[in-house]
Amino acid sequence: MFILPNLNEWNRQSVNVMQAMLGMISPNFRMVTLDHDGTKWLIGFVLEIVNAEDCEELNDFEAEWEALQDDPTPCDFQISYTAESLPMPHAPKRALYRRREVVLIQD
């Protein structure tokens, strides 16, 4: 069934993601996003490089996020690795965390 969440659900899941992230963000994390495709929540993590400690934190995140749900909540956790420039996501996708990065402008 295709149902878009209302604003209260978006806000609740945003807080749940941030609560589940407490203490897990390392300098390797570049961005964390929340989106919904009509059937499930999409939580995206962009890291700069593959790192065993961060991978373990991401596994812990899934359990922490699920523990914050009142009922079984369909979700897909998406992890990508890149050092390329990251555009800001377009609504309704939310950036819940974004690392401060220096953009070098070449002449």
DSSP annotation of 88 reads: P
**Total of domains in the chain:** 1
* Portion of the chain with pLDDT greater than 90, in percent: 89
The answer as to whether 29 is a domain residue is yes
The answer as to whether 66 is a domain residue is yes
pTM of the model: 0.90
The answer as to whether 1 is a domain residue is no
The answer as to whether 60 is a domain residue is yes
Which range of residues forms the domain containing residue 78? 7-98
The answer as to whether 32 is a domain residue is yes
The pLDDT tens digits for 21-65 are 999 999 999 999 999 999 999 999 999 999 999 999 999 999 999
Residue of 42, 50, 51 whose CA lies nearest to 95: 42
Q: 3 pLDDT band (50/70/90 cuts)? A: confident
Residues 17 and 34: beta-carbon distance below 8 Å: yes
Dmax (CA) for the chain in angstroms is 54
Output the domain CATH number for residue 26: 3.30.70.1770
Residue range 61-87: mean pLDDT, rounded: 95
